[in-house]
Amino acid sequence: SAVISQKPSRDICQRGTSLTIQCQVDSQVTMMFWYRQQPGQSLTLIATANQGSEATYESGFVIDKFPISRPNLTFSTLTVSNMSPEDSSIYLCSVEEAPALEAFFGQGTRLTVV
């Protein structure tokens, strides 16, 4: 399976600031995904990062709050903007590998907003 490197692994941020999370894959992948996992909850898809076009956001998530870049087939970033304590969560990047389309995850970024 692909090796997915995500950083930072954790951060403590002041409210009102922004944090950019990076996700690097060791092979070219068509689809990259960003999830949020709030404490004690399951994974919620934020958006699908598309190479060469704008990300596709799920209901409840907007580009101004979670801008995403996908400059090539091995890299993506997610920015959490104008953070509030409610943004404290684990953020995960994921790729799906053909042909089985199994999803694999980065190590996650544990974000705490104070």
Stretch that binds another protein, among 16-24, 68-76, 77-85, 86-94 (CB under 8 A): 86-94
Stretch that binds another protein, among 12-20, 38-46, 62-70, 77-85 (CB under 8 A): 38-46
91-108 burial: b if 16+ Cβ within 10 Å, else e = bbbbbbbeeeeeeebbeb
- Binding residues for another protein, total number by CB under 8 A: 22
Token pair 């960003």 is found at: 34
Q: Does 45 bind another protein (CB under 8 A)?
A: yes
- For another protein, give the closer residue by CB, 35 or 83: 35
- For 13, how many CA atoms within 13 A lie in the half-sphere containing its CB? 26
Angstrom distance (rounded) from CA 53 to CA 32: 13
- Under DSSP, is residue 83 helix (H, G, I), strand (E, B) or coil? coil
Q: Does 104 bind another protein (CB under 8 A)?
A: yes
Q: Does 2 bind another protein (CB under 8 A)?
A: no
Angstrom distance (rounded) from CA 105 to CA 64: 24
Binding site for another protein (CB under 8 A): 1, 31, 33, 41-43, 45, 48, 90, 92, 94, 96, 100-108, 110
